[in-house]
């Protein structure tokens, strides 16, 4: 027993982990040994480790990582930073607080400025509720009815939309479209509702009510390849802007439950395979999880636990346009079937925010963060100077949190770190005399004295470049 005790005590010291354990029993089971360890000062808490004679090196590292993961899990960080909340009786429905809503609004601004305006998307708005007739016509009813929230009024059935496709199709079909206007791109930050099982809900990564950066490209057959190339490039740029490096791409081909003939499926699958070869995309698994109307390419991002979540997607659809007779007039004024590309880049905005928070350990990009600058006064004698600096920063439309009280500086700095803000301005007698500010950044690094005008100039550069 003594030998084992010494061996484990050394390991606990080596990894700087809680080493106050003792072995009180050893049970032999076949070739494997089960070591039963018990924590001191904690009653009735046992840990069973199934091992081949020795403890693995990574065992203690995993424990550390679990603690770190818990700290930066979006389900813990949102409480600390007052971003949003849930109600136990209403799972999967999110209530945004002021700080969280700032992030949500700025993500929407990013979509409008950097995707819709840049790449000629027409932003539209469709109803959140549609008659069952529309869902049946587009064939969504057969595949999504289980996950829809249904309503009945005067013998008429309605459904809250789980996606935006039928609404966008109605807008396209409202007027006759000439070939000169193609490709026609519609974008919507649309509110969607899906009746997910409560067991599958996961913070804001899977909700019953969410907003999606949904879009549809209506194009000719000879425009498909170019639009797919453009979309892939946009996705890469957007994910780079948000510091995502490990992006998994999956190819999903025809599922068992599908509509349309094999000729159209073969055609759409060949086009997607061409794109994959063009970009040299390495795909380990080709799955048969395509949409019921066409194959798709999916873009996955990882959360803190390295679980992958689908965010971006593009789907080729030859079939729904044929069923609904969606046409355009060609050069000779002859009607031809349009092709629909269903696409999303961020996917669910709420999910994207959750992954963004976890990947950056709370330090999301400067232009999104609710509290951009924290101002701390060292003493209360120089309140006039601190108030002047606050006014200057507010005029330049920066979001500020001031910590002006009689607490110790260390307590004030603790608060600053909890806000996950990038910049902290310290103001004392020296700063007042020099007519400057003392700047501190997120990793407790001192940048020293700087003039307020220079600091604002620097911040504006960060804002413009979406850093």
Question: Which residues are known to be catalytic?
Answer: 165, 194, 212, 214, 216, 296, 342
CA dihedral (29, 31, 32, 34) in degrees, to 10, reads 40
- List strand residue ranges (DSSP E) for 276-370, in order: 286-287, 296-302, 308-317, 327-329, 335-337, 339-348
C-alpha pair distances (Å), 30 with each of 25, 52, 53, 55, 90 = 16, 11, 11, 17, 49
Report which of 434, 380, 387 is spatially closest to residue 412, judged by C-alpha positions.
380
Burial of 75 per CB tally in 10 Å (0-12, 13-18, 19+): middle
User: Got the DSSP string for 353-370?
Assistant: HHHHHHHTTT---TTT-S
Report which of 266, 267, 259, 315 is spatially closest to residue 141, judged by C-alpha positions.
259
CB atoms within 10 A of CB 183: 17
Helix boundaries (H) for 138-278 = 140-144, 165-172, 224-241, 262-278
Integer Cα distance of 314 and 272 in angstroms: 10
Integer Cα distance of 344 and 275 in angstroms: 17
Report which of 358, 90, 369 is spatially closest to residue 207, judged by C-alpha positions.
90
Burial of 10 per CB tally in 10 Å (0-12, 13-18, 19+): exposed
Integer Cα distance of 1 and 27 in angstroms: 12
Bridging pattern class, strands 373-377 and 400-403:
parallel
Q: Between 224-241 and 262-278, two packed helices, what is the crossing angle to 10 degrees?
A: 50
Integer Cα distance of 215 and 122 in angstroms: 9
Could you identify the residue written with the tokens 């700290």? Answer: 71
Report which of 39, 45, 33 is spatially closest to residue 19, judged by C-alpha positions.
39
CA dihedral (109, 300, 83, 399) in degrees, to 10, reads -40
């Amino acid at each position: 027993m003594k030998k084992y005790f010494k061996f484990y005590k050394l390991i606990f010291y080596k990894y700087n982990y809680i080493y106050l354990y003792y072995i009180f029993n050893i049970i032999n089971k076949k070739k494997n040994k089960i070591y039963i360890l018990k924590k001191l000062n904690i009653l009735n808490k046992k840990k069973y480790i199934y091992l081949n004679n020795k403890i693995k090196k990574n065992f203690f590292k995993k424990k550390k990582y679990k603690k770190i993961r818990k700290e930066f899990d979006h389900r813990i960080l949102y409480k600390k930073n007052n971003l949003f909340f849930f109600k136990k009786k209403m799972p999967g429905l999110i209530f945004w607080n002021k700080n969280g809503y700032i992030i949500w609004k700025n993500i929407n601004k990013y979509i409008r400025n950097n995707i819709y305006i840049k790449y000629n998307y027409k932003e539209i708005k469709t109803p959140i509720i549609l008659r069952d007739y529309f869902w049946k016509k587009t064939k969504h009813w057969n595949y999504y009815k289980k996950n829809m929230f249904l309503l009945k009024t005067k013998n008429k059935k309605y459904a809250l939309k789980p996606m935006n496709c039928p609404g966008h199709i109605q807008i396209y079909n409202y007027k006759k479209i000439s070939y000169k206007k193609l490709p026609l791109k519609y974008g919507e930050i649309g509110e969607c509702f899906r009746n997910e099982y409560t067991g599958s809900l996961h913070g804001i990564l899977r909700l019953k009510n969410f907003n999606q950066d949904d879009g549809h490209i209506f194009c000719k057959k000879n425009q498909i390849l170019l639009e797919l190339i453009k979309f892939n490039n946009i996705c890469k740029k957007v994910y780079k802007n948000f510091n995502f490096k490990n992006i998994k791409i999956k190819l999903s081909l025809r599922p068992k439950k599908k509509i349309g003939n094999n000729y159209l499926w073969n055609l759409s699958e060949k086009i997607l395979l061409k794109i994959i070869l063009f970009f040299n995309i390495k795909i380990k698994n080709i799955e048969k999880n395509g949409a019921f109307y066409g194959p798709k390419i999916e873009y996955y991002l990882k959360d803190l636990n390295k679980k992958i979540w689908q965010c971006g997607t593009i789907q080729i659809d030859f079939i729904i346009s044929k069923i609904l007779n969606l046409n355009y007039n060609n050069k000779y004024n002859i009607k031809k079937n349009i092709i629909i590309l269903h696409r999303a880049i961020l996917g669910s905005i709420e999910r994207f925010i959750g992954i963004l928070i976890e990947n950056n350990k709370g330090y999301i990009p400067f232009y999104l963060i609710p509290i951009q600058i924290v101002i701390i006064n060292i003493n209360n004698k120089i309140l006039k100077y601190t108030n002047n600096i606050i006014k200057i920063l507010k005029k330049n439309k920066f979001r500020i949190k001031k910590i002006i009280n009689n607490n110790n500086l260390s307590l004030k700095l603790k608060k600053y770190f909890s806000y996950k803000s990038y910049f902290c301005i310290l103001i004392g007698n020296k700063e007042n005399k020099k007519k400057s500010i003392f700047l501190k950044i997120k990793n407790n690094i001192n940048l020293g004295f700087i003039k307020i005008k220079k600091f604002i100039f620097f911040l504006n550069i960060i804002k413009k470049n979406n850093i």
